[in-house]
Amino acid sequence: MQSTPAQSHCRSFGFTLLELIVTMSIVVILLGMGIPAFRALTAKNLQASEINSFVHHFHLARSLSITNQTHHVLCPSRDGVSCTNSGEWGQGYILYEDSNPNRTRDQNEQLQSVHRPNQEMAIDIASSQHRRFVVYGGDGRPSGYNLTLTFCDPSSQIPPKAVILSNLGRVRVSGTRWDGSALSCGGDI
């Protein structure tokens, strides 16, 4: 017995339940593998963006200090106006000209730059020795000691990175601490 064209035509438009279950299983497996990789990529891009912003601000502070022969301060700030008394830089930071070198932003001191991190994503940025500010003198050198800022992903999907500032004002990005030891998150930086 021969099938009619109408019977074979109807069969080609549908899926069996087994075909649908296999297809959905493959989609679920691919999504299960892809989502964590996408989250890690997103965290890595956020970390790189924050590191680039810090390096830019260190170079900007140094350049402004040398050009204007004045002191410039880079410090953590939650409100984008004044410095916080904390070594946690992840909430944002400001750069201002410190015309009366007291390391406190006064009303008449010009705000040079404000950085507010992306609020939809988290990255922890903590300084070594809980350093609350970096002051660049008129010669372009930061006063004080070396500074290490550690950039940590709170979900621990990617390894931490560090921005290390030397006494001469040189900035470098590293996967280890200044002495070559491993970076750590959440504890003593």
Residue 33 lies in a domain: yes
Residue 74 lies in a domain: yes
Q: Which residue has the higher pLDDT, 29 or 122?
A: 29
Report the mean per-residue pLDDT for the chain: 84
Per the structure, the complete domain to which residue 92 belongs is given by 15-174
Residue 44 lies in a domain: yes
CATH at residue 53: 3.55.40.10
Q: Which residue has the higher pLDDT, 19 or 124?
A: 19
Number of compact structural domains in the chain: 1
What token pair was written down for 57?
Answer: 């601000």
Tell me the per-residue pLDDT of 109-155, one tens digit each, with 9 for 90 and over.
989 999 988 766 667 787 777 778 899 998 888 887 788 888 888 88
How many whole angstroms separate alpha carbon 126 and alpha carbon 106?
Answer: 25
Report the range of poorest mean pLDDT among 20-29, 63-72, 122-131.
Answer: 122-131
